[in-house]
Structure 1
Amino acid sequence: MGGGLSGLRIGITRAAEQAESLSRLIEQRGGEPILLPALCLREPPSWAPFDDAAALLPDGFDGIVFTSANAVERTLDRLTILGVDAGDVLDGLLTVVVGTATSEMVASRGLVPDIVPEEFHSEGLLEALESRVASGLRGTRWFLPRALVARDVLPRGLEARRAQVIAAPVYEVGPPLDPEPILARLEQGLDVVTFASGSAVTNLQALVGDRWGELLDGVAVAALGPVTADACVDAGLRVSIQPPEARMEALVESTVAWAAEGAGAGRA
């Protein structure tokens, strides 16, 4: 694999346990990954809502919806703890995923997603469901394992179509446990900062506080997916890099393309 990112310091705001793949891709293209773990993934406050919903599988639902790779991993791990064979339970359900990374996580666990919308956000998922479920969404029941704090676009959209949604937290996204190393790395300067979720944007902004504009001045912002890009804009950032697919490989390739285009202009 060629270079393209040589000499660039590229910040990664994903949780520490999720940063390895992006770090490796950046290094392969000659860049220097700078770990800025703005997220800390934790267990949900209680597994009771999930366990109660899982007890209804599979007959109690028409489908299950995964909106993140984290949700897939935590859901399947919890089902294993409960002594449930995920393959058998989910085989009779429509398995719906948002985003390529989520689809790849489902596949890596030996499952086959039934619906992967072309648009990588909840609005696109609603359109895909309406086109796939021939009888309509009215009266259908959907299981939505997700983060403790998440957007309500999907459940509200389904409920507006007279479907029933049972959402249950399978993880919680919190701020980093030790912010000092993150601040120190930001002070050393970056060429690019990458965001893979809106939570990473809001957490990093809260951590930096009044120095948000100062520390990110002149830093190119790369956002994975339209929801993340919107969060960046809401935080006062200008998104310079947004890949056409919600995949880490696409994020790196788009960053390489940005670097090539900006090389003659000082990468402004």
Structure 2
Amino acid sequence: MTQDVRVAVFRPDDERLADAVELLDSLGAEPIADPMLEVRPTGNAPEDGEYVILTSKTGVELAADTGWDPGSATVCAIGDSTADALRDHGYEVDVVPEEFSSAGLVEALEAEVEGKPVEVARSDHGSAVLTDGLADAGAVVNETVLYELVRPADSGDSATAAADGEIEAALFTSSLTVEHFLAAAEERGVREEAIGGLNEAIVGTIGEPTRETAEAEGIEVDVVPEIADFEKLACEVVEEAAPTYHE
């Protein structure tokens, strides 16, 4: 039923992209792999704090590579995948918010962080919702950049494909993937055409912030899973796209 549904996926060119391609293959879809994020480690380790927050599996892996020891800090993960990565590296996880987002973390911690040092260790494109929210709750916030996220120089084939009407679905996993997709489209001179192509396809975003970024740029979003999980995103988008494609 779903065979030949062409799905653009923008994850970094590591095991995340390989896993995404494997998942889409298993769903009978045809992946169009176009990494929109490249990870450049800074070599920094999380600094000390009574609370230490990690917001991605990548951040956990890079922190672990530095030999980071949280000591007696309360270790917080933004969601289950980050928490799983922490446990896989031998760290205990004390806090995972009900809502896997920056706003969810603020809600989980705001009643207990007043006057306390909170370390936020993440990429250079982390949301201000987290740091500002914790500061507003009275925390003494420090942010350490563990890695930079840049757009690969050869990215953009998916933008051309979208402009040519050659995709049925797209999976955006962060606001930055949306921004980099549009930058690649602009670079190729097909920005408006690519947006038009997306609006004829099924577009999924992994959460509300990504949806808001996409819609602010004129991209219509069809699917946002209740849980910010890539597998759920992919499954729901392919399920939505397949009947449309085969009508």
What is the TM-score of this pair, normalised by structure 2? Answer: 0.87
With 232-241 and 196-205 compared, the bigger mean Cα shift is at 232-241
Deviation track 1:142-192 (CA, whole Å, cap 9, x = no partner) reads: 111111132211111111122111101111111122136445544471110
The answer to whether structure 1 residue 15 and structure 2 residue 3 are counterparts is no
CA shift for structure 1 position 11: 0.6
The aligned length equals: 240
Rounded to whole Å, the distance in 1 between the matches of 2:219 and 2:158 is 19
Which residue does 2:222 correspond to in 1? 240
Which residue does 2:235 correspond to in 1? 253
The answer to whether structure 1 residue 106 and structure 2 residue 86 are counterparts is yes
**Which has the higher Rg, Structure 1 or Structure 2?**
1
Which residue does 1:172 correspond to in 2? 148
The answer to whether structure 1 residue 71 and structure 2 residue 59 are counterparts is yes
CA contact (8 A) 1:146 1:170 kept: yes
Which blocks of at least 5 consecutive residues in structure 2 are unaligned?
A: none
What is the one-letter code of the residue matched to 1:255? V
CA shift for structure 1 position 214: 3.6
* 1:159–1:90 CA distance, 2 compared to 1 (3 A): same
Residue 226 of structure 2 aligns to a residue whose secondary structure is: coil
The answer to whether structure 1 residue 230 and structure 2 residue 212 are counterparts is yes
Deviation track 1:20-77 (CA, whole Å, cap 9, x = no partner) reads: 1111111111111110111222133xx4xx45x63xx4xxx11110122222122222
Query: Which runs of structure 2 are paired with 1:118-137 in the superposition (5 Å)?
Result: 118-130=98-110, 136-137=112-113
Deviation track 1:228-265 (CA, whole Å, cap 9, x = no partner) reads: 122111221111111121112211231244246xx2x5
Sequence identity percentage: 25
CA shift for structure 1 position 103: 2.0
The answer to whether structure 1 residue 218 and structure 2 residue 200 are counterparts is yes
CA contact (8 A) 2:27 2:235 kept: no
CA RMSD of aligned residues (A): 2.2
Rounded to whole Å, the distance in 1 between the matches of 2:98 and 2:234 is 20
Which blocks of at least 5 consecutive residues in structure 1 are unaligned?
A: 81-85
CA contact (8 A) 2:11 2:35 kept: yes
What is the TM-score of this pair, normalised by structure 1? Answer: 0.81
* 1:267–1:231 CA distance, 2 compared to 1 (3 A): farther
